[in-house]
Amino acid sequence: MTARPLRILGIDPGLNITGYGVLEVVAGKINLCEAGVVRGRSQGSLSERLAEIHSGVVEVIASFAPSTMAIEQLYSHYKHPRTAILMGHARGVICLAASQAGVGVEHYSATQIKKVLTGNGHSPKGQIQLAIRRELNLLETPEPADVADALAVALCHHYLHARRLLARPKPA
């Protein structure tokens, strides 16, 4: 009996555009299943936009049955606290969708993602996109940037998860 492949859903949360990427790991090989965006209408009310994000993420989870979801943590600049509050709403409905489907959620900071993929926690976006292209053998950088960011979160989770599995003591 073969084990179910590991599927990682990476999410870059946003109120207007939420990027997602689904990676499947089989025998240590990383394959891209799908990547895209869930769009919230920029003109709709906050509650309508959140409902659209939730619905879109529910659909992705139902389609790909991920083993886990990796999501970028909230970052806020002290000059823009309202942005952090609004982004927290988006992250909340995304985490709710995962919880409703019984999918565990792991949270990673932007600097942690960058450090895992490039060795530098302050890498520019172009360097991250190059790392994604290289690691997934892509001919072009995924567009929009939210998709590339979601794939970066998923790759970060994979590499950190693989490291944890290798560090576990072997059963006697």
Single out the catalytic residue among 34, 140, 143, 146: 146
Which pairs from 26-34 meet CB under 8 Å and 24+ separation?
30/135, 30/136, 30/155, 30/158, 32/136, 32/138, 32/151, 33/7, 33/64, 34/63, 34/64
Q: Is 24 marked active-site?
A: no
| Amino acid at residue number 54 | H
Q: Are 22 and 9 in contact (CB under 8 A)?
A: yes
Single out the catalytic residue among 12, 106, 135, 140: 12
Q: Is 149 marked active-site?
A: no
| Amino acid at residue number 10 | G
Single out the catalytic residue among 24, 72, 140, 149: 72
**17-26 β-sheet, strand order:** 29-39, 17-26, 6-12, 68-72, 104-108
Backbone angles phi, psi at 130, to 5 degrees: -65, -40
Residues annotated as catalytic (active site), given as ranges: 12, 72, 146
